[in-house]
Amino acid sequence: MIPGLNADLLNRVSSISTHVIVSAFAIHLFVFFLLWIWYRRDLRSIASSLFDFTKGIRNQSLLDGNAHLSDQIDAFLADVRDVLDDDTRAADRRQLLLRMQFLDERKSYLNSMAFETVYNIARVMIEAYPVAGVLGTVLAIGAALQPDVAGKVVTVNQIIARFGEGIWATFAGLIAAIILMFLNSVLEPSFDRLAENRRTVREVIARAKRELALVAANDPAGGGHA
C-alpha cells in the first residue's frame, strides 16, 4: 500500500509541477508590476517634496517635462548645496529654514526598507525557476519508475510519456527565468537610482539641518521667523 501511495503522490505532484511554475511566474510578474508602481510613487513623492522645499529660492532648477524625475531630484539637491555653500545667500537660507519642518513632516518618502526587501526577494527568487523546472522533471521520471497501484511495472512507453511531461516543467522554468531576468535587467537601474536618490537626499538634508541650525542660532532675525 505504501509504494502505491508513494506512486500516487508522485503522480499528483509531477502532474501539477508545470502549472505551479506558471502560476508562480504570473505572481512574480505581478510583484514586479507592483514594485514599478511603488517606485514611481516614491520617486514622485521625493521630487514633489524637494520642489516644495526649494520653492522660492533664487534660481530654482526646473528641468523640462521630458527630464527624468531622478535628474530633477539631483537638480533640486544641487540647488540646496548651492545655498549652503554660498554664505551670501542669507535670504535663501532663511527660506530653506522655514520649510525644514514641513520637509520633516513628509520624510516618510525616505523609508526604503520595505521596498528594498520586496525587490530583493523578487530578484533572488528568479534563480528558483530553473531549479523548480528540473525538480518537476525529476519528479515526473520518479513517478514513471514507480509501479502503479496494482503493483504492475510500468512500460518503456509510459516512462517516455512521463519524461515528455516532465520536460515541460523544465521548459516552463527556463522560460520564466529568462523573461524575469530580462525584466529585472530593465527595472534594476531605475530601482538602484531610487536607492541612490534616497541616500543623497538623506545626506543633503542632514547637512542642511546642521548648517541651517547654526544660521538660526547666529541670526536672531532669521531664527525669529523660523
Q: What is the pLDDT along the chain (226 residues), one digit of tens a residue?
A: 344 546 677 777 777 888 899 999 999 999 999 999 999 999 998 888 888 888 877 777 777 777 888 888 888 888 888 888 887 887 888 878 777 766 666 666 677 889 999 999 999 999 999 999 888 888 877 777 766 555 555 666 666 767 777 788 889 999 999 999 999 999 999 999 999 998 888 888 888 888 877 766 666 554 444 3
**Overall residue count recorded for the chain in this entry:** 226
Alpha-carbon distance of 128 to 124, in angstroms, equals 8
The three-class DSSP label of residue 213 is: helix
Cell of 37: 508602481
pTM to 2 decimal places:
0.79
| Cα–Cα distance, 149 to 158 (Å, whole number) | 15
Cβ pair 108, 25 in contact under 8 A: no
Distance CA(172)–CA(15), nearest Å, equals 13
Range of the domain at 60: 2-225
Measure the CA–CA gap between 130 and 104, rounded to whole angstroms.
Answer: 46
Q: How many domains does the chain have?
A: 1
